[in-house]
Structure 1
Amino acid sequence: MTPATPESSTATEPTAQPSKTAPAAAGTTGPADDKLDPAFMRMAAVLLLALLMALLDETIVNVGLTTLSGTFDSPLENVQWVTGGYLLAVAAATPFAGWAVDRFGGRTMWLTAVLLFVLGSTLSGAAWSLPALIVFRVLQGIGGGMIVPVVQSVLATTAGPSRVAKAMALISLPLTLGPILGPVLGGVLVDAVSWRWMFLINIPIGVVALLLALRTLPAGDHGSRSDERLDVLGLVLLSPGFAALVYGLTTAARDSDVASPQVVVSFVLGALLLVGYVVHALRTTVVPLIDLRMFKLRGFTMAVVTMFFVGAVANGLLFLTPLYYQQSRDFGALHAGLLLIPSGVLGAAGAITSGKTANKVTARLTSAVGMLLTALGALAFSGVGADTNTAWLSVAIGLTGYGIGLTAPGTMAFMYQAVGPERATRATSALFIVNQIGGALGIAVIAITLQSRLADTEGHPAGAYGGTYAAVIAFGVVAALAALALPGSFRAKAPAQPEGGADPSPESAAV
């Protein structure tokens, strides 16, 4: 996820619907103060610990699927539901998270999500059969699906407009490191201990996070709309619609066949449910889970579009690059995972850079440059062969990570500036959903392209992999163009604050 960095009083695009009730972090000294004080940093550290735990678990199991297949004497296509069930549960839980934070408060929902995640992890580690493991992973996914949007919305609203870009830079650290470290940690645990520890490792981390949260998360947070009714029909339409699309894209990637009956039915069902949600959301008298009227704001829309393609780029790289190392270079899974570490480390560096420069330049610049750097790094992989120097490729994959890290914080912060704090939680759910769909689409496009090129390539498969990186480059360039369409100039300027805090130029965020 990534914002076009108009953060705080230095932003070029002011909030479309400013709120006088935006929560402020402890120690906030005023709208012009963009410092992250110690109290905020302690709270953020606890929240992000759980976020990292959830993100690790999205990929940690991938390297253990073969082991699980042998343990439960089950074919790999059945074992893949250990990851598939988790991802579908994440998809189903995400739309609920925004309403739940508004209704019950960020502290309550964070504690609930982490408790569900730890419980699902404990049961998964004790699973006695494959069906039991899949069921427990679904429970774990429900908690994990709420953790990401809850953490993001709590930090964004607590930081306030002047510090939101720096808060998003903090969130980007686990977002870039988690998917990279997951396969490495999973490989070590499976090889050195037991497959059960892919899940049990979450217990001590989760317990520590929960104990720390009781001391650091502010009490008395009961939600800003404690009397708001749940949009039940919207949930019935949106959650399964989102899950159906993700399932269809995942199946298309797995089978490299976009026209299979499973995929077509999933796409049709998902499209019908989402169209139904659109009709419902525009006519309902209750507050919808995702207010589609936010898309009238150009800043919000272009930030979401940018993040859609960032999801395609990031997930495409994480899918394609380890495959190249394993299938074209005959490296083991752990070796391939270690070669991705530069992406995570430099991704964190890119996020820090984005946060530090947020009061000088806007996300229109940082996000566009970040995606162009990512496309440049992918370009280096387009010419890979059977013996391409791995040190050179490590530099290239590090460049892609830096570009993604530079892009995400600013784009996410820009989105929050566009919608205002009152709609921040619902905007978070929308952004996360679109980002996840973009990631699933990216993997599907790359998997189908790769399979087609492998079928047409004679000799060593390295050439097929190199050509497939063209899809990643294309996604990166489109993301850069979307970032350039964000409202405002390239340099951040402090807008004049009229009396009463009204938005000086609300048209800058509108279509």
Structure 2
Amino acid sequence: MGAGATKPPPVAAESGRIDPALRRLTFTLIIGALAVIFDTTIMSVAINSLAGQLHTSLATTQWVTTAYLLALAATMPAVGWAQSVLGGKRLWIAGLGMFLVGSLLCAAAWNVQSLIAFRVVQGIGGGTMMVLMFTLVMQAAEGRSIGRVMSLITVPTALGPIIGPVIGGALLHLGDWRWIFLFNVPFCVVGGYLARRDLPDDGPRPGAPATRARLDAVGLLLLSPGIAAILYGLTQLSGSEGGLAGPRVALPLLAGLALLVGYVLRALRLGADALLDIRLFRHRAVAASSALVFLTGAALYGSMLLLPLYWQQVRGESALGAALLLIPTGVGALLSRALAGRCMDRFGARPVAVAAFVLTFAATVPFGFVTASTSNTALMAVLFVRGVGLGAAMIAIMGAGFVGLEREEIPAAAGISRVAQQVGGSMGVAVLVVILQRASAGARTPAALAAGFGEAFWWSAAFTAAAVPLCLLLPGRPGSSAQAEDSAPAEQPSEV
């Protein structure tokens, strides 16, 4: 094929097997996405070391993560519009390029303030990529073999918890903190080359009639700052003496909620012309999937915070030692992908999600009884089971959110899903940190500190338990009338 020829978009095979072109597209996106996933998981074990190497307080260094999350969440709602203007290929390369520039700037930062500013650049690129990856793959799959497709596209999410913390611990142990960001460079460079070669050119053609979508600028000014304000309020919860009533928490939360209410009223009036079409919540599958992604984000990111802290503060492990003990979670998630994808395509998202969340809950309960001398071998075995459950749950619930949608609805659905996961993760971290601080206040011995962690783990289990009844709202067996009813808008008759 000539250099100027346009490659047709890949589609999933009718037989249930994934088309080789779709596999190639997914692999191309995964290579670039690994930079974002690894960066996030590496930073989870690096904050404490960064504070020491940058000679600043832990509270200030925490903004290295907070600024990134705020930029990530504020960018996500506008990705669908940007794709309609630039096309998926151009936008992916632009997002990857921005993440590369942000990584290089972070590696060149001269103090913590400049590092925080450059993390915003990274967050804009990362937020663009994480929404667009799901959009491009789901549009190419055209509703076929969603379970198998999700098992492929969630590879970065599964690999991140396995490799990221270990890499972060090793880099901090052996070298300078700047290598945390330089580590992203090869993935960005190779990912950009593959994207230029393999992604179909779906952008506007020179001389073609203008079909550019209008940017809902007012909606952007309501939705993105609203999400960012809520995330900021949640991140301040751990340092607020008044809890939710403290001004550092209450003011941004109330401002964020007010902006979101304003956006909802505007979006209901604009319909499909809104920045994110919230009418998609009329699809029961989209509404249930978003709620479950929110709860799963809380359970996943909350535990990613608690587990390394438990091993470092109670058991005296180093950052690298704690990271190695977390590997079973990622291994379990990685191994469950293929089976969960096949089961979802055969039986539907509902039974897979119910079984996955029950398994995750059962594997979280033992941490409620954790002590300062609990066997690490036993805990690692439980983490493996928990990883199996979480991995299967993410495939089922994220895939279910795209069932029954038209191609043009997929970008908005992807944006809603990623925002729900981001806000849920921030809420889970904030709530569990506050619970841990209050439960372990005044603890002077490892045993007393372990009891505080046990109470926080019970709350993590509660997040998982709350998800089980919601799973019953997900689509049933593919091709059945039950699935048609589940995925159809509430006010429209289902089509068989």
User: TM-score of the superposition, structure 2-length normalised?
Assistant: 0.91
Distance of aligned partners of 1:205 and 1:454 in 2 relative to their CA distance in 1, 3 Å threshold: same
- Give per-residue Cα distances to partners, 1:165-203, cap 9 Å, x unaligned: 211111222113214432221111121121111011111
How many aligned residue pairs are there? 478
- 1:510 is the counterpart of 2:494: no
Q: In structure 2, what is the Cα distance between the partners aligned to 1:232 and 1:49? A: 32
**How far 1:334 sits from its partner (Å)?**
1.1
In 1, distance between residues paired with 2:52 and 2:379?
34
User: Residue 493 of structure 2 aligns with which residue?
Assistant: none
Match of 1:472 among 460, 471, 475: 460
Q: CA shift at 1:487, angstroms?
A: 4.2
Q: Which amino acid in the other structure matches residue 181 of structure 1? A: I
Measured after TM superposition, the shift of residue 143 of structure 1 is 0.2
In structure 2, the partner of 1:26 is 10
Mapped partners of 1:462, 1:225: distance in 2: 62
Q: Map residues 294-443 of structure 1 onto 2, 5 A cutoff.
A: 294-443=280-429
The one-character-per-residue Cα deviations of 1:268-301 (angstroms, maximum 9, x if unpaired) are 1111111111111112377112111111121111
* SS in structure 1 at match of 2:116: helix
User: 2: CA distance between counterparts of 1:133 and 1:160?
Assistant: 41
Q: Which residue of the partner structure matches residue 204 of structure 1?
A: 186
Q: Which amino acid aligns with 1:373?
A: L
1:99 aligns with 81
**Residue number in structure 1 paired with 2:245:** 259
Is there any run of 5+ residues in structure 1 with no aligned partner, and where? 1-22, 497-502
Partner of 2:217: 232
Say yes or no: does 1:46 pair with 2:28: yes
One-letter amino acid of the counterpart of residue 488, structure 2:
A
CA contact (8 A) 1:103 1:225 kept: no
Contact 1:95–1:289 at 8 Å: present in 2 too?
A: yes
Measure, in 1, the Cα distance between the counterparts of 2:385 and 2:484: 37
Instruction: In structure 1, give the amino acid aligned to 2:454.
Output: G
Amino acid at match of 1:243: A
Distance 2:57 2:163 in 1: 27
8 Å Cα contact 2:98/2:121 also seen in 1: yes
Displacement of 1:495 after TM fit? Answer: 4.5
Aligned mates of 1:365, 1:55 — CA distance in 2:
28
Deviation at 1:318? 0.8
The CA deviation at 1:102 is: 2.7
Question: Gaps spanning 5+ residues in structure 2: where?
Answer: 1-6, 491-496
Question: Identical aligned pairs, as a percentage?
Answer: 35
Q: CA deviation at 1:493?
A: 4.4
Counterpart contact for 1:25–1:160, Cα < 8 Å: no
Question: After superposition, what is the alpha-carbon deviation per residue over 1:369-413, rounded to whole angstroms, capped at 9, x for unaligned?
Answer: 111111111111111111111111001111111111111112222
SS in 2 for 1:419: coil
1:136 is paired with a residue whose SS is helix
Whole-angstrom CA distance in 2 between matches of 1:207 and 1:88: 25
Superposed counterparts of 1:241-256, under 5 Å? 241-253=226-238, 255=240
- Residues of 2 paired with 1:398 and 1:285: CA distance? 44
**Could you tell me the TM-score, scaled by structure 1's length?**
0.88
Q: Is the Cα contact below 8 Å between 2:46 and 2:172 reproduced in 1?
A: yes
CA offset at residue 440 of structure 1? 1.1
1:463 equivalent in structure 2:
451
Post-superposition shift, 1:329?
1.0
Query: 1:255: Cα distance to partner?
Result: 5.0
Partner deviation per Cα, 1:99-123 (whole Å, 9 max, x = no partner): 2123322111110100000000011
Mapped pair 1:124 → 2:110: no
Choose 276-285 or 368-377, whichever is displaced more.
Answer: 276-285
Provide the rounded CA distance (Å) in 1 between the counterparts of 2:170 and 2:180: 9
- Tell me the secondary structure at the aligned position of residue 360 of structure 1: helix
Give me the whole-angstrom Cα distance separating, in 2, the residues matched to 1:61 and 1:473: 25
Residues 229 and 286 in structure 1, CA contact (< 8 A), matched pair in contact too: no
Residue of structure 2 equivalent to 1:163: 145
Q: Distance between the aligned counterparts of 2:281 and 2:234, measured in 1?
A: 24
Label 1:254 to 1:371 Cα distance change in 2 as closer, same or farther (>3 A). Answer: farther
Is 400-409 or 113-122 further displaced after alignment?
A: 400-409
Superposed CA RMSD? 2.3
Tell me how far apart the structure 1 counterparts of residues 437 and 47 of structure 2 sit (CA, whole Å): 21
Q: Secondary structure at the match of 1:150?
A: helix
Secondary structure of the 1:359 match is helix
Match of 2:472 among 474, 484, 491: 484
What is the distance in 2 between the residues matched to 1:472 and 1:161? 33
Query: Equivalents in 2 of 1:24, 1:402: separation in Å?
Result: 36
1:318/1:65 Cα in 2 relative to 1: closer, same or farther (>3 Å)? Answer: closer
Distance in 1 separating the partners of 2:8 and 2:337: 22
1:24 is displaced (CA, Å) by 8.2
